[in-house]
Amino acid sequence: MIKVLIVDDSASVRLFLQEILTADPGIEVVGSAGDGEEALEAVAQLRPDVITMDVHLPRMNGLVATRRLMETFPTPIVIVSASLDAEEVATTFHALQAGAVAAVARPAGPGYTEHAAEVKNFVLTVKLMAEVKVVRRWSLFSRELTRPAPDLPVTAPIPAKIRAVAIGASAGGPLVIQTILAGLPHGFPVPLLIVQHMAPGFVAGFVEWLNLTSRLPVRLASHGELLQPGHAYVAPDGCHLEVTAGNRANLRNVTPVNGLCPSVSALFRSVAMVYDKEAIGVLLTGMGNDGAWELRVMRELGAVTIIQDQESSVIYGMPGEALKLKAASHILPPAGIIDLLKRLIMEKTA
């Protein structure tokens, strides 16, 4: 049984979420809390496997509670957002920065047409995040984001020209992507294409949050637009982000790949076909194997391929699968990824 603690200042919402979760035979709601201070006490007593957390709480808000919990009783925390307004959603990413592992919209009530689908996604997210092994304080994990590390010996020649950087991530990815974009300089001479798995409705807020710290403009990709150097393009909800031979974005709302849309595999496959060896593929923390095989294809074509190291990853599923396939020419923490991108791209175009 997965033991869940529900944290929300509304008694009716706590009851609603409890009914949804306990309908799954594999979940037990062991308690609830109405504010951050109650949450700290409940976690110390009940030791849940996963926590659902509202951000807007009295006495101690969800951001502070998340940070305190990750420093005292590290536990997977899923932020539950009541609104999908871009500005409101952007605040949930501050909770991810504080240590939460995922964010999801609160399911609509039974009278809404999307109720069943949203409940299914909510329950699945809670169950998957309960598997995350949060074994160290978040403050220590955060230091991993800036820890430099030597890279692997390069077994293939470095391409004389790089035309694009493709990045894929899932659980734990938002903070790493933020770190990378904040570390790249103004005038970065190639476009970056990003697929980040997240719950529907959160990607606009994700882009808004990234723009707070990124030195490069970050935007949702639009179908057919010309990819500009020094810009970062994020795949929108429900569309695969690909590139065309004319260096333009191509959005396709088609069958999911690996059960996902957008899919990292679709992006990497497209980049491999269009840019061949003149590209860099980066696979970050996340559950599953999306993008792993296609990263190997990129490496076989002569592209530079990078995976995030295990120590700095929240979940080592995707990069771990790529490692098994020998798809990586470099294994690095986020600071090392930044340094390598600058060295490979900025120096070649100086």
Q: Active-site residues: which are they?
A: 170, 197, 290
Structure tokens at 210: 């990234």
Distance CA 178, CA 161 (A): 25
Three-state SS for 113?
coil
Three-state SS for 155?
coil
Q: At what angle do helices 203-210 and 86-98 cross, to 10 degrees?
A: 70
Q: Report angle CA 177, 178, 182 to the nearest 5 degrees.
A: 115
Q: Report angle CA 293, 298, 300 to the nearest 5 degrees.
A: 95
Distance CA 346, CA 281 (A): 16
CA distances from 214 to 142, 197, 211 (A): 18, 19, 5
> Helical H runs in the chain?
11-22, 36-46, 62-72, 86-98, 115-129, 138-144, 173-183, 203-210, 264-275, 292-300, 317-324, 334-341, 347-349
